[in-house]
Structure 1
């Protein structure tokens, strides 16, 4: 019981049982005033008590059994008339068992009652004062001895229980420490990956800005330089004008490089329709491509800077691709909106018939649109040419405007 092994459990009952049996044999072998049958009966009751009491869980029931045995022993003592015989042995045995079995306070009270009962019985039978004092001293000494043994046993059990709990807590703490180490390692790995992703995203942004801005300007430079030899032969004034345009574009390229190097996330010069008209004017001057801008379906011209930049860069890259690859003479940009979306459509009359290869420019355009919460699609125009359709949500734009105003 209470976590003990079965062998130890039976040992704790066999030892007192053997003591009772040996003492019963000893008392029966010597003539006494007590009836041998009554003596054997009382010892048999004590023997049964030893084997039954461990299974009694209730303290009140255990106390009643102890009191019953005490009364039976006193009756046996009164009937037998023995002063130092079997009855006294059973009283002492009962007191020792109570010191082990009953709670501390109850065992002390029960022992005091046993001593008081002994004094009364000895006095009624004419016992001397020395005999009474001797019996009391023996009982007190045995009670203190066995009570201290019980206290040490309970203290040892408590220490073992505390040690087991501490060992369990230590195991739990080690497990928690390992979990924390694992979480720390995962967090460090996630931080490294997040940093790498941020660096990669920033590199992609810078590369896209260089491609969209500087690439567009350099395309204009190349087109004008390609036409310069022919113009030099025909008109000196036109050639000087082209050279001035090339220098102007080169300076703008330099400014764009500085902007990218200094990681200017947004450019105030790329806000609204004014910037788009300026871009179209530059393209027409430098390339000869005629570009029309239709804003008849536009009811709102106030856009957040990131949306303005998205439209500007996509229009810029679209015109650059038309100049480089489409061999077109005319391009058209239409901007409109409804209650939920802003729409930009760019078409040309170039040579595109349906086979489209996604390079860095087209991929960057789609990424810009998706990053702004919108979408970008490409389709063919009959009989030839390319249509680019951009859609951006207005609710996101309005929310960003309110956030920026805050």
Structure 2
């Protein structure tokens, strides 16, 4: 399109120039009353007008040039005294060029003025009514013809512009469609990754629950079964009591397994000091470990559900580890709180002297504390033993509230 534009502009100037030159030669070869020099001068002005007018941008200046050419042509007509001929040809040429070059309304007004001036000149020179009507009809017909050509050309150009804009919009829409497809694929991939992460997190939670609850109960079963042969030798009543305890713990393990498998909600039995005292009582009864609970620094016992479960599970795992690994005879739990935090300290008199190995149990305890927004630390007790210090915020965060709702 851009390569053809200069050639098209050259063609628009060349064709009317050739028409002017050929008609000028024809009129000069058949001179009438017109002065040949004046005739050549007027045609030369028109020829210059054809090559200069495309470079004029102002509509007012173009209109002034058209009016000047019209006045020059009327002067030439009046001087030459010709009723038909070169002057009439130039007026018609000027009218046709105005139909293409001037805006629609201006070209119509200018053509009306040309026709009016032509009528006055013909009347002043004694032209007949038929001649006047014939000239007017020819000018009107030519104006309608070339105006319609101009309108069709402008309509075609507008259609081409609209087509180009539609093609551009089509390309943009295709690009946007590809971007949306890419974003959709990325969203699907992110959804799959999010689902995998949620499944992995749920598996980790279930594994931690099994380790903390069922592992604790099975440790109690193992301890009581290990002591059963010695109790059988000493007392039949004590052996029956141990067997009943083992059965009771086994049933509780089964119930815990069912709870985990069916992904039931948090157990209401893991709420408050009552649950902690019950846990300590079970540990003392089944393992022989003496556990003391100090709540003197506790101002209230109303805790959020996530805090209650976290304390219960961490105390449960801590006591299980003491039974398994510490070889301790005594453990102590101290619970206190202030306006914003709850503090739990668990100590034992076991064999720990400072070298701590993080297994699944200790790691799970830290993860539970951090998930609840708190912290968990381990340190040695002199001369031996392990101290576990837990700090939990009492205010439930927005993230935890959403987890609670889920």
With structure 2 as the length reference, what TM-score do the two structures score? Answer: 0.94
Q: CA deviation at 1:403?
A: 12
Q: Which runs of 5+ in 2 are unaligned?
A: none
The alignment yields a C-alpha RMSD, in angstroms, of 2.4
DSSP-derived class of the 1:116 partner: helix
Q: CA deviation at 1:4?
A: 6.0
More displaced stretch, 40-49 vs 261-270:
40-49
Give, in whole Å, the separation in 1 of the partners of 2:2 and 2:73: 31
Compared CA separation, residues 4 and 120, structure 1 to 2 (3 A)? farther
Give, in whole Å, the separation in 2 of the partners of 1:304 and 1:316: 18
Compared CA separation, residues 2 and 65, structure 1 to 2 (3 A)? farther
Compared CA separation, residues 49 and 398, structure 1 to 2 (3 A)? closer
Q: Is the 8 A contact 1:73 1:87 kept in 2?
A: yes
Match of 2:351 in 1: 351
Superposed CA deviations along residues 146-177 of structure 1, whole A, max 9, x for unmatched, are: 11111111111011011001101111111111
Match of 1:284 in 2: 284
Give, in whole Å, the separation in 2 of the partners of 1:87 and 1:21: 14
Q: Is the 8 A contact 1:374 1:393 kept in 2?
A: yes
Superposed CA deviations along residues 174-210 of structure 1, whole A, max 9, x for unmatched, are: 1111111112111211221222222222221111111
Superposed CA deviations along residues 346-383 of structure 1, whole A, max 9, x for unmatched, are: 11111122222222211211111111111112222222
Compared CA separation, residues 237 and 398, structure 1 to 2 (3 A)? farther
More displaced stretch, 372-381 vs 3-12:
3-12
Q: Is the 8 A contact 1:34 1:79 kept in 2?
A: yes
Q: What pairs up with 1:4-403 in 2 under 5 angstroms?
A: 5-396=5-396
Q: CA deviation at 1:404?
A: 8.9
Compared CA separation, residues 125 and 2, structure 1 to 2 (3 A)? farther
With structure 1 as the length reference, what TM-score do the two structures score? Answer: 0.94
Q: Is the 8 A contact 2:304 2:394 kept in 1?
A: no
Give, in whole Å, the separation in 1 of the partners of 2:242 and 2:375: 38
Superposed CA deviations along residues 374-397 of structure 1, whole A, max 9, x for unmatched, are: 111222222222121111122337
Q: CA deviation at 1:27?
A: 2.0
Superposed CA deviations along residues 215-248 of structure 1, whole A, max 9, x for unmatched, are: 1000000000000001111111111111111111
Q: Is the 8 A contact 2:375 2:390 kept in 1?
A: yes
Compared CA separation, residues 401 and 122, structure 1 to 2 (3 A)? closer
DSSP-derived class of the 1:399 partner: helix
Q: CA deviation at 1:325?
A: 1.0
Superposed CA deviations along residues 240-295 of structure 1, whole A, max 9, x for unmatched, are: 11111111111111111121122123110000011111111111111111111111
Give, in whole Å, the separation in 1 of the partners of 2:211 and 2:395: 30
DSSP-derived class of the 1:382 partner: coil
